[in-house]
Amino acid sequence: MLVDVASLSIAFPTPQGPLPAVREVSFALGAEKLGIVGESGSGKSLTARAILRLLPPNALLTAERLRFDGIDVLHAREAALRAIRGRGAGLILQDPKFSLNPVMTAGGQIAEAWAAHHKGTRRQARQAALDLLRQVQIRDPARVAAAYPHELSGGMGQRVMIAMMLAPGPRLLIADEPTSALDATVQAEILRLVQDLVSRRGMALILISHDLALVSHFCDRVLVMYAGRIVEELKAAELARARHPYTRGLLDCLPSLTHPRPRLPVMVSDPAWLA
């Protein structure tokens, strides 16, 4: 198992006491594509970041087991963690505008990511960067490599981000709402690209999103989170047969082009879901 999480809990200290954000979440992941779906505040981003212990400094993290690639993340020292971040797992965030360094060229950033985990000359790093840009299906890698992030479109920027994260050759890719800031046409392209790269390299993928339909399209398994807990776990193909009322609620409350309804069913949150 690449990722093994048992009873993960994350809380934040507040003047009124610790506020739980993730409550006893357990899951395991091999070389497959896992989707984590939830609305804002469900704890999905924190859960994924906990695998690399990339949490805010005031977060209180407890778990029975938190292992990544054989390493005990819960008790590892910062130096050991720095080794697995990047080389073990890469993280793609929502808006490339905010996650790319605005004063470095795209090629420069990818080369830097490559050089941090490989020994080689600057020319080799630059070559690797161009090669990676080609792998993320950028038709004109030289032009994009020389461009600054603000000169690139959203979809292009996200491809650069993916190239940067793939540079060290990680085993796991965590994509946190990678396409929420992109247009529908570009969304599908980017996700198909991620899917393709992940299968070709034999990597594992954790795709975090609020879009249940999107996630089920591109993943093998889906975890549905609500208020810090996993309320349902199912295979992507079986989404239509989801049983938990929250998952059904998420599916039903979307407006549909093909099945119009004058009023959309509204999710009534059952306090039992918090138990």
Partner 1 sequence: MIEIENLEVRFRDLHAVRGVSFAAPRGSSFGIVGESGSGKSTILRAYAGLITDWTGTMRLAGSPLARRRERAFFRRVQMVFQDPYGSLHPRQTVDRALSEPLLVHGIGEIEARVLRALAEVALPTSVRFRYPHQLSGGQRQRVAIARALMAEPEVLLLDEPTSALDVSVQAEVLNLLADLRERRRLTYVMVSHNLAVVAHLCDTIGVMLEGEMVEQITAADLRAGRAAHPHTAALRALSTELEEA
Query: What residues have CB less than 8 Å from 166, skipping those under 6 apart?
Result: 90, 132, 135, 136, 173, 197, 201
Q: Which of 75, 78, 263, 275 binds partner 1 (CB under 8 A)?
A: 263
| Residue of 163, 26, 145, 152 whose CA lies nearest to 90 | 163
d(CA 2, CA 29): 6
- 111 within 8 A of 125, measured Cβ to Cβ: yes
Minimum CB distance to partner 1, residue 94 (Å): 12
Q: Residue 245 interacts with partner 1 (CB under 8 A)?
A: no
Q: Which of 258, 271, 272, 275 binds partner 1 (CB under 8 A)?
A: 258
Minimum CB distance to partner 1, residue 264 (Å): 4
CA distances from 197 to 75, 203, 243 (A): 31, 8, 32
Minimum CB distance to partner 1, residue 218 (Å): 10
- Tokens found for residue 47: 């859960």
For partner 1, the closer of residues 120 and 265 by Cβ is: 265
Q: Residue 40 interacts with partner 1 (CB under 8 A)?
A: yes
- 239 within 8 A of 250, measured Cβ to Cβ: no
Partners of 85 in beta bridges: 89
Query: What residues have CB less than 8 Å from 75, skipping those under 6 apart?
Result: none
Minimum CB distance to partner 1, residue 182 (Å): 8
Q: Residue 249 interacts with partner 1 (CB under 8 A)?
A: yes
Q: Which of 57, 202, 255, 271 binds partner 1 (CB under 8 A)?
A: 255
- Among positions 179-238, residues that touch partner 1 (CB under 8 A) are 183-185, 188, 210-211, 213-214, 216-217
Minimum CB distance to partner 1, residue 147 (Å): 18
Binding site for partner 1 (CB under 8 A): 39-40, 154, 183-185, 188, 210-211, 213-214, 216-217, 239, 249-250, 253-258, 260, 262-267
